[in-house]
Amino acid sequence: MAKTGTTTQGLRAAIERSGYYPALVAEAVEAAIGGEAIGSYLVHQETTFDANEVRRHVTVLVLTGTRFIVSHTDEQAADSTSPTPYATTSTESVKIGRISSVVLSRVVGNPEKYVPGTPPREVVLTIGWGAVSRIDLEPAACGDPNCDADHGYTGSSTADDLSLRVSEAGDGPDAVRQTLAFAQALSEATADTAR
């Protein structure tokens, strides 16, 4: 479920509604925000299945006047390092000017009948700021089928800092609309810093 808005009280309420360790998540997010005013936020809780385990995860995105804040909280089962289940929370603060890309992919059904303003059935929000890059390499070759020379490698590098998938079927139509609203606010903020 995704929630978006623009106030500290609204952010706290959205975190509490997610039902996912709200005291832990709120404390981490509020500490990262500090005294800055919130421009927009998005709270997205998802459940994944890993073999025989159900795992929950929450992502909180916050836009202030100067920063983009990302918080992730994951729960872990007891293991060799901890005799009890535990949660890991991390926050990252990124200056808005460092955001290099905001990609919003929309999936619509029956595109030939699309009516402007109709929400997509799924969106994927990908945000890049240069912290994480993925490199895909493969052996390079020339056009000569008899050549056995080493031509090195060829590949591509892709910024892949954050990718968030929200679907109407899994998260509800409000979650899709809220993700669209947050993506627009973030895109506008990055456009403002480019001027």
At 3-61, the pLDDT tens digits run 455 568 889 999 999 888 999 999 999 999 999 999 999 999 887 777 777 778 899 99
pTM over 0.85: no
At 74-117, the pLDDT tens digits run 988 888 888 998 899 999 999 999 999 999 999 999 999 999 99
Tokens of 45: 């809780």
Which is it for strands 38-50 and 101-107: parallel, antiparallel or unpaired? unpaired
Report the residue count for the chain.
195
For the chain, the straight-line distance linking the first and the last C-alpha, in angstroms and rounded, comes to: 34
Tokens of 181: 């609203």
Residue type at 74? D
Residues 181 and 40 sit within 8 Å (Cβ to Cβ): yes
Torsion of CA 163, 71, 33, 101, to 10 degrees: -20
Closest of 156, 162, 168 to residue 183, by C-alpha: 162
